């Protein structure tokens, strides 16, 4: 720490909260130096200070700055008060995984030198969670760009082009950013990301231009669970993405035109768990999709008309865990479709007639984990299912009746 009295002022308060290696200097302006000299002389000679001198001192003290961890802050900056002790402990090191997780999840701001320490000492761990860090400087982003860990969570709500470009350089498997807006320019930068998975859980909307740029990324998983609506044009642009996992769990409605555009996506797993209902028209368009796994766990009911259209989707895995009950006709339609896996974990009870219809399905695995008790008549019908069946923790007497049973 530089202790030249003509240029810097050292304070015990700041250094007591942070590490000596973090606090480099507190900058004192010439005006403040002059005001302090006048007040000091007045006190030494037992003379009253002028009101304007006191006002000047108060004003100039507010402008006092301190250099901490490679960045300059005003002394009254709330980020210093919230984070200085955390910064010091991180820089000192010798902390275990649990403590590191506690510290990083409490951080609200990340200066460059602390970012460098995190990358150097914790960069290859499974998770670096900075969910409360809502903004970072380009200098900090440059340090983070060297990260090679498994997962990084950043609470950033906005991104400039340079920061987006730097973050895209990171070699992390999964990147989660809490952006609340995304334009085409930033989307283009993020599309260069090396991350296998990109998650934007708080993004409420996406236009076609940004979707087109985002669709250029080479990752395998894209989560846009913050979107509550999607139009056909934007869906068409997203459908150009060549990854395998697309999650749109925030969508609460989906019209037939948008579903048709989305069905053109050539990936393998599509998650639409925010939908609580499905019209026959939309179900028909979704059924045109050629992927492997379709998740509609938000559906609370499924009419026979919609089920008939959905049954035209003859791929592998259908998950409709949100259903609490089933029409008999709906059961017959669902079990008439081709496929290998059927998830109905939302059902909490099962009668013999429904069990009989379910047992006729020709698939490989059926999940009924919401069911913990069944009567003898229902059991008699269910055991006829030729594949593996998974229930909740039922009694050993019941589970022994099944040829293929799991819990």
Local mean pLDDT, 10-residue blocks, the chain (407 residues): 33 42 55 61 61 63 72 82 88 83 92 90 78 92 89 94 93 94 97 94 97 96 97 98 97 97 97 97 97 96 94 92 92 90 93 94 92 89 90 58 53
Question: What is the helix (H) or strand (E) element at residue 241, kind and residue range?
Answer: none
Please tell me the distance from the alpha carbon of residue 61 to that of residue 39, in angstroms, as a whole number.
13
Please tell me the distance from the alpha carbon of residue 15 to that of residue 69, in angstroms, as a whole number.
12
The pLDDT assigned to 5 comes to 32
The answer to whether 191 and 216 are in contact (CB under 8 A) is yes
Q: What angle do CA 181, 184, 188 make, to 5 degrees?
A: 110
The pLDDT assigned to 84 comes to 87
For 373, other C-beta atoms within 10 Å of its C-beta total 13
Three-state DSSP class for residue 35: helix
39-82 residue pLDDT tens: 566 656 566 656 666 666 666 566 677 778 888 887 778 888 88
Please tell me the distance from the alpha carbon of residue 242 to that of residue 217, in angstroms, as a whole number.
8
- Which residue in this structure is represented by tokens 């202790």? 3
Please tell me the distance from the alpha carbon of residue 284 to that of residue 129, in angstroms, as a whole number.
41
The answer to whether 126 and 152 are in contact (CB under 8 A) is no
Q: Is CATH 3.80.10.10 correct for 97-406? A: yes
236-271 residue pLDDT tens: 999 999 999 999 999 999 999 999 999 999 999 999
In the chain, domain spans: 97-406
Please tell me the distance from the alpha carbon of residue 67 to that of residue 71, in angstroms, as a whole number.
5
**Do strands 317-319 and 341-343 pair parallel, antiparallel, or not at all (unpaired)?**
parallel
> Which two structure tokens, joined as six digits, stand for 98?
């649990």
The answer to whether 168 and 193 are in contact (CB under 8 A) is yes
Question: What is the helix (H) or strand (E) element at residue 101, kind and residue range?
Answer: helix 97-106
């Amino acid at each position: 720490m530089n202790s030249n009295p003509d240029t810097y002022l050292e304070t015990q308060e700041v250094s007591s909260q942070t590490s000596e290696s973090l606090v480099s200097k507190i900058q004192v302006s010439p005006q403040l130096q002059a005001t302090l000299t006048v007040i000091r002389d007045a006190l030494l000679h037992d003379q009253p200070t002028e009101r304007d001198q006191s006002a000047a001192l108060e004003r100039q003290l507010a402008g006092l700055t301190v250099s901490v961890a490679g960045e300059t802050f005003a002394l009254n900056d709330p980020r210093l008060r919230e984070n200085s002790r955390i910064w010091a402990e991180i820089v000192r090191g010798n902390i275990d995984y649990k403590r590191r997780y506690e510290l990083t999840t409490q951080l609200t701001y990340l200066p460059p030198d602390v970012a460098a320490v995190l990358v150097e000492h914790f960069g290859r761990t499974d998770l670096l969670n900075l969910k409360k860090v809502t903004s970072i400087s380009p200098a900090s982003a440059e340090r983070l760009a060297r990260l090679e860990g498994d997962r990084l969570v950043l609470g950033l709500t906005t991104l400039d082009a340079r920061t987006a470009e730097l973050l895209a350089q990171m070699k992390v498997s999964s990147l989660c950013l809490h952006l609340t807006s995304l334009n085409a320019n930033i989307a283009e930068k993020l599309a260069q990301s090396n991350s296998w998975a990109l998650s934007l859980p708080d993004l409420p909307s996406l236009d076609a231009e940004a979707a087109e740029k985002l669709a250029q990324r080479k990752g395998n998983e894209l989560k846009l669970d913050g979107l509550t609506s999607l139009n056909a044009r934007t869906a068409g642009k997203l459908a150009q993405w060549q990854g395998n996992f697309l999650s749109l769990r925030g969508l609460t409605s989906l019209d037939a035109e948008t579903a048709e555009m989305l069905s053109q996506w050539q990936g393998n797993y599509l998650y639409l768990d925010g939908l609580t209902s499905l019209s026959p028209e939309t179900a028909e368009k979704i059924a045109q999709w050629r992927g492997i796994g379709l998740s509609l766990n938000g559906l609370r009911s499924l009419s026979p008309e919609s089920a008939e259209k959905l049954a035209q989707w003859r791929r592998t895995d259908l998950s409709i865990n949100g259903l609490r009950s089933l029409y008999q006709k709906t059961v017959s339609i669902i079990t008439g479709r081709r496929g290998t896996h059927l998830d109905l974990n939302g059902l909490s009870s099962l009668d013999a007639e429904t069990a009989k219809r379910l047992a006729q399905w020709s698939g490989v695995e059926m999940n009924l984990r919401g069911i913990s008790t069944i009567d003898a008549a229902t059991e008699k019908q269910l055991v006829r299912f030729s594949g593996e069946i998974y229930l909740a923790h039922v009694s050993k007497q019941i589970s022994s009746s099944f040829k293929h049973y799991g819990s």
